[in-house]
Amino acid sequence: MQPNPEHIRTIANRYAANLALCFPLRRASLQLARAVHANIITFGFHPRAHILNRLIDVYCKSSELAYARHLFDEIPEPDRIARTTMVSGYSASGDIPLARSVFDETPLSVRDTVMYNAMITGLAHAGDGYSAASTFLEMKRGGFRPDNFTFASVLSGLAHVAEEERECVRQFHAAAVKSGACSVTSVTNALVSVYSKFDLLHSARRVFDEISEKDERTWTSMMTGYVKNGFFDSGVELLEGMMDERMKLVAYNALISGYVHGGLFKEALVMVRRMVWSGIELDAFTYPSVLRACATSGLLQVGKEVHAYALRRGEFSFHLDNSLVSLYYKCGKFDEARAVFDKMPERDLVSWNALLSGYVSSGHIGEAKLLFKEMGEKKNMLTWMIMISGLADNGFGEEGLRLFACMRNEGFEPCDYAFSGVIKSCAVLGGYCNGQQFHAQLVKIGFESSLSSANALITMYARCGVVEEARRVFMTMPCKDSVSWNALIAALGQHGHGAEAVDVYEEMLKEGIKPDRITFLTVLTACSHAGLVDQGRRYFDSMESVYCIPPGADHYSRLIDLLCRSGRFSEAESVIKSLPFEPTAQIWEALLSGCRVYGNMELGIVAAEKLFELIPEHDGTYMLLSNMYAATGKWEEAARVRKLMRDRGVKKELACSWIEVETQVHKFLVDDTSHPEAEAVYSYLQELGKEMRRLGYVPDTNFVLHDVESDGHKQDMLITHSEKIAVAFGLMKLPPGRAIRVFKNLRTCGDCHNFFVYLSRVVQRDIVLRDRKRFHHFRNGECSCGNFW
DNA sequence: GTAGGGTTAG
């Protein structure tokens, strides 16, 4: 239905004066703007300039910049106000290039101070203090007089200039005083804030003390100045001297948020309690801080109380509900998180991202994918990143890579964090070439020393089997955090350099970096792979006694693994008996695989029974147990276990290996003939097999678990193991001298291990195999990890 | 038509 031009003219005039007033009006105005717009297109109806300007403003304020621009372009000679509205609209949406272009196209004679202010504000908000300052100088040169608005904006922009140039704040301060702008609170507020940002708290305080009419922003700026610089006591003191209730509320908010930012959650909550006692009620700005404190320190109960409190007060804000969503999923309450999300009267992008990240971090990838799809066009960089990184975390490296490409196609320039997500995908996938390319791109755009990217690079190189590169990245990092150290220790540990991993750990302690629970996981794994049992045991014991980190089930399972690998079963048993909680599946698994290595049937059966109870659907237990029987020639027992597995409907996870050739990943299954070049690969593999048998390789048919009668048949089955196919493919495709890096989703078998030992000598190539558990480096007839277990 | 501060998703 098209409104007729007369009608439009009447309403447009009626609304024009009120357009910017309040939200319902603005919403009505947006509809009106649309209708007028449609009429311009269909009927050639042209409202008067001031109405058109209002409509453009409505579009801008409703974030409909493209429509605003259409209207703007309809005006043959846009006046100063139309241009200012456009500049300010683009500025507010952060689109500086477009704001700039409208601004630059405006002749000097049309510009005025307000228009300069709109431009400077945009630059200041975008964090470009230099351009804000130079535009300020340009306007002075052009003979325009800066006013309060100008000084407030340009000063706030200065907060983003480099530390060395903080002296220019004083110059602008002097200029503001001279022009009389310092008698206005908005300007002095900006001064307090910018002085605080540069740690010039005395100057900030001096300005603060001289402000006769302090408003909310004055108090928050001063308080934030104190707490962001760690002067919590000064903040509390400031608070104690306050009288006005409303001002006290905002000061409390700033103080609480400062505590939360500094990780002082307990102090934050104490402050909330104090606030409530003194009769001040929480507001929309208090909730997110409190809830984040609860979420990060796992205080679900307190969080629920806050939720109830907010419900009683009948408040709604995106920030509140979004914080609730993240509180619940971080505390593992996914249904509650979803319920809050579903009940929201309106949702913004943050709400969607919060729920998405809840799904992703809890492994609900199916739901996450649905949600991601449902989001359609309304995604931002973070949406993509959450999904990419989440896919990688859940083992979907290929999908992560694909999504990263999609993201770029849709015009998102990845930030450093987005790179860390896709690099993680390469790590999962073993995509060395892909990873190298992303590394090169990082260097090109200057992100290579970003903590998140560099940490991801260390892990990626390690997981691709190139420890030296991982080490190099670590060495070149200008600043490192515990994640960086953990990544390097893990890298070394995975590749059997256990002693070195332990050295790095000791060095980390010397550097004063506090180990966290991940550090201990990596150190224990390293000790376990290197057989450093006593040392590992000592590190484990130090967790609680020295670092106050209570070991979790994952730490205990590493300890069991450590003990079992060197055959210390009685010790392992007594650890399990003295656990402060019920042993988890993970712990029994560690015991079972230890028993497998040593053929400890008795204990192995105990562990397997427990696992059958705890996770009857898990195929690994059946395989391990049946393998154990088979290895000792107890074929009947092995068959019984496999029958049990069949009866319970447990499916064996399909073995799959893959290899990257020129950034393309090629996947192979057992007996796989689906690859276009399968035939050639098979005949090449047969040839290799013959060649190696001549050199003494004997297929070890113990590893064939199918019920096959003849030995010849069994050998055929061995040759078609997916990792052998992938390696053969690599030999065919990769240039001579290049290492073959193959990845497998399950553990490799002893026969394949043996096969590759021979192969590495025959073809004179390095072969690196990463299976579910560990890395195997084959070079010239030897394997770095010796025994393949 | 323009300003100053504090909050949510990794």
Tell me whether strands A740-744 and A767-770 are parallel, antiparallel or unpaired: parallel
List the structure tokens of A731.
Answer: 């030999």
List the structure tokens of A743.
Answer: 């990845």
pLDDT for residue A314 is more than 60: yes
Give A100-117 pLDDT, tens digit per residue.
Answer: 999 999 999 999 999 999
- Burial call A341-363: b when 16+ CB within 10 Å, e when fewer: beebeebeebbbbbbbbbbbbbe
Q: Residue at minimal CA–C1' distance from B9? A: A354
What is the CA A339 to C1' B10 distance in angstroms?
Answer: 22
SS3 at position A659: strand
pLDDT of A15: 55
pLDDT of A452: 92
Task: Tell which residue, A130, A64, A115, A118, has the closest CA to residue A91.
Answer: A118
Which nucleotide across the nucleic acid strands is nearest to A383, CA versus C1'?
Answer: B9
Is A678 found in the same domain as A600?
Answer: no
pLDDT for residue A272 is more than 60: yes
Q: Identify the weakest region by mean pLDDT among A211-220, A536-545, A629-638.
A: A629-638
Q: What is the C-alpha separation between A684 and A731, in angstroms, rounded?
A: 9
Task: Tell which residue, A262, A263, A326, A259, has the closest CA to residue A286.
Answer: A259
Is A724 found in the same domain as A778?
Answer: yes
Amino acid, single-letter form, for residue A431: G
pLDDT of A25: 62
A455 confidence band (pLDDT: 50, 70, 90): very high
Is A625 found in the same domain as A693?
Answer: no
Q: Is residue A580 part of a domain?
A: yes
Q: How far is CA A357 from the centre of its chain?
A: 9
Taking the CA atoms of residue A599, residue A604, residue A605 and residue A606 in that order, the dihedral angle to the nearest 10 degrees is 150
Give A474-504 pLDDT, tens digit per residue.
Answer: 999 998 999 999 999 999 998 889 899 999 9
pLDDT for residue A5 is more than 80: no
The conformation of residue A786, written as its DSSP 8-state character, comes to S
DSSP state letters, A327-354: HHHHTT-HHHHHHHHHH-SS--HHHHHH
Contacts 24+ apart (CB under 8 A), A777-785: A777/A465, A777/A495, A777/A496, A781/A757, A782/A757, A783/A753, A783/A756, A783/A757, A784/A495, A784/A496, A785/A496, A785/A529
Give A719-752 pLDDT, tens digit per residue.
Answer: 778 899 999 999 999 998 899 999 998 888 888 8
* Alpha-carbon Rg for chain A in angstroms: 33
Task: Tell which residue, A73, A67, A72, A92, has the closest CA to residue A82.
Answer: A72
pLDDT of A720: 78
Percent of chain A with pLDDT strictly greater than 70 = 94
Q: Is residue A730 part of a domain?
A: yes
Q: Into how many domains does chain A fold?
A: 2
Is A608 found in the same domain as A630?
Answer: yes
DSSP state letters, A569-592: HHHHHHHHHT-SSPPPHHHHHHHH
**Bridge partner list, A665:** A660
pLDDT for residue A702 is more than 70: no
- List Cβ neighbours of A726 (8 Å cut-off, separation of 6 or more): A657, A658, A659, A666, A668, A742, A743, A744
Q: What is the C-alpha separation between A389 and A701, in angstroms, rounded?
A: 41
pLDDT for residue A375 is more than 50: yes
Which nucleotide across the nucleic acid strands is nearest to A292, CA versus C1'?
Answer: B8
Is the pLDDT higher at A679 or at A708?
A679
pLDDT of A716: 66
Is A672 found in the same domain as A614?
Answer: no
Is A777 found in the same domain as A669?
Answer: yes
List the structure tokens of A10.
Answer: 């009447």
What interhelical angle do A5-16 and A23-43 show, nearest 10? 150
pLDDT of A43: 82
Q: Residue at minimal CA–C1' distance from B4? A: A186
Q: What is the C-alpha separation between A370 and A725, in angstroms, rounded?
A: 35
Q: Residue at minimal CA–C1' distance from B6? A: A254
Q: Is residue A670 part of a domain?
A: yes
The conformation of residue A382, written as its DSSP 8-state character, comes to H
SS3 at position A710: coil
Q: What is the C-alpha separation between A403 and A369, in angstroms, rounded?
A: 11
Neighbours of A534 (CB within 10 A): 10
Phi and psi torsions of A378, nearest 5°: -85, 80
Among A43-47, A289-293, A746-750, top mean pLDDT goes to A289-293
Q: What is the C-alpha separation between A538 and A524, in angstroms, rounded?
A: 10
Q: What angle do CA A615, A616, A620 make, to 5 degrees?
A: 80
**Bridge partner list, A743:** A658, A770
From residue A30, how far is each of A40, A51, A165 by CA, in Å? Answer: 15, 13, 44
Q: Is residue A52 part of a domain?
A: no
**Bridge partner list, A664:** A661
Amino acid, single-letter form, for residue A351: S
What interhelical angle do A533-547 and A517-530 show, nearest 10? 170
Is the pLDDT higher at A77 or at A44?
A77
Q: Is residue A83 part of a domain?
A: no
Which nucleotide across the nucleic acid strands is nearest to A350, CA versus C1'?
Answer: B9
Is A701 found in the same domain as A757?
Answer: yes
- List Cβ neighbours of A648 (8 Å cut-off, separation of 6 or more): A616, A617
SS3 at position A299: coil
Q: What is the C-alpha separation between A296 and A259, in angstroms, rounded?
A: 13
What is the CA A298 to C1' B5 distance in angstroms?
Answer: 29
**Bridge partner list, A779:** A782
List the structure tokens of A339.
Answer: 């319920």
Is the pLDDT higher at A375 or at A3?
A375
pLDDT of A449: 83
Which nucleotide across the nucleic acid strands is nearest to A113, CA versus C1'?
Answer: B2
pLDDT for residue A153 is more than 70: yes
Is A766 found in the same domain as A666?
Answer: yes
Which nucleotide across the nucleic acid strands is nearest to A361, CA versus C1'?
Answer: B10
Token match 């999609």: residue? Answer: A406
Is A765 found in the same domain as A666?
Answer: yes
Give nucleotides in strand B with any atom < 7 A to a protein C-beta: 1-10
**What's the maximum distance between 2 C-alpha atoms anywhere in chain A?**
100
pLDDT of A6: 61
Contact A640, A705 (CB under 8 A): no
The conformation of residue A481, written as its DSSP 8-state character, comes to -
SS3 at position A769: strand
Is A742 found in the same domain as A673?
Answer: yes
pLDDT of A8: 58
Distance spanning both ends of chain A, measured CA to CA? 75
Contact A321, A340 (CB under 8 A): yes
pLDDT for residue A273 is more than 80: yes
What is the CA A358 to C1' B8 distance in angstroms?
Answer: 14
Look up the CATH number of the domain holding residue A571: 1.25.40.10
Q: Is residue A370 part of a domain?
A: no
What is the CA A153 to C1' B4 distance in angstroms?
Answer: 8
Which nucleotide across the nucleic acid strands is nearest to A85, CA versus C1'?
Answer: B1
Q: Is residue A58 part of a domain?
A: no
- List Cβ neighbours of A209 (8 Å cut-off, separation of 6 or more): none
- Burial call A571-585: b when 16+ CB within 10 Å, e when fewer: bbbebbeeeeeebbb
Is A597 found in the same domain as A681?
Answer: no
SS3 at position A624: helix
pLDDT for residue A788 is more than 50: no
What is the CA A319 to C1' B7 distance in angstroms?
Answer: 6
Which nucleotide across the nucleic acid strands is nearest to A381, CA versus C1'?
Answer: B10
What is the CA A484 to C1' B6 distance in angstroms?
Answer: 32
Number of H helices, E strands in chain A: 42, 6
Boundary of a domain, candidates A622, A652, A682: A652
Q: How far is CA A554 from the centre of its chain?
A: 22
Q: Residue at minimal CA–C1' distance from B3? A: A149
DSSP state letters, A417-465: HHHHHHHHHHHHHT-HHHHHHHHHHHHHHT-TT-HHHHHHHHHHHHHTT
Percent of chain A with pLDDT strictly greater than 90 = 62
The stretch A766-774 carries a mean pLDDT of 89
What is the CA A608 to C1' B5 distance in angstroms?
Answer: 61
From residue A39, how far is each of A2, A46, A497, A605 by CA, in Å? Answer: 7, 8, 74, 80
Is the pLDDT higher at A752 or at A453?
A453
What is the CA A530 to C1' B1 distance in angstroms?
Answer: 70
List the structure tokens of A354.
Answer: 């919060």
pLDDT of A11: 58
Taking the CA atoms of residue A112, residue A114, residue A117 and residue A118 in that order, the dihedral angle to the nearest 10 degrees is -110
Give A568-591 pLDDT, tens digit per residue.
Answer: 999 999 999 999 889 999 999 999
pLDDT of A680: 87
Task: Tell which residue, A367, A347, A362, A418, has the closest CA to residue A393.
Answer: A362
A12 confidence band (pLDDT: 50, 70, 90): low
Boundary of a domain, candidates A652, A669, A704: A652
Q: What is the C-alpha separation between A569 and A573, in angstroms, rounded?
A: 6
pLDDT of A19: 47
Question: For residue A752, what are the domain limits?
Answer: 656-783
Q: Is residue A607 part of a domain?
A: yes
What is the CA A120 to C1' B7 distance in angstroms?
Answer: 25
What is the CA A189 to C1' B5 distance in angstroms?
Answer: 8
From residue A99, how far is each of A76, A328, A605 by CA, in Å? Answer: 19, 40, 72
A712 confidence band (pLDDT: 50, 70, 90): low
pLDDT for residue A429 is more than 50: yes
List the structure tokens of A434.
Answer: 């892909």
Q: Residue at minimal CA–C1' distance from B10? A: A386
Q: What is the C-alpha separation between A262 and A569, in angstroms, rounded?
A: 45
A566 confidence band (pLDDT: 50, 70, 90): confident
pLDDT of A391: 96
The strand order across the sheet containing A664-669 reads A664-669, A656-661, A740-744, A767-770, A775-779, A782-783
Q: What is the C-alpha separation between A468 and A475, in angstroms, rounded?
A: 10
The stretch A657-669 carries a mean pLDDT of 89
Which nucleotide across the nucleic acid strands is nearest to A117, CA versus C1'?
Answer: B2
Is A776 found in the same domain as A754?
Answer: yes
pLDDT for residue A297 is more than 70: yes
**Over chain A, what is the mean pLDDT?**
89
Boundary of a domain, candidates A637, A652, A667: A652
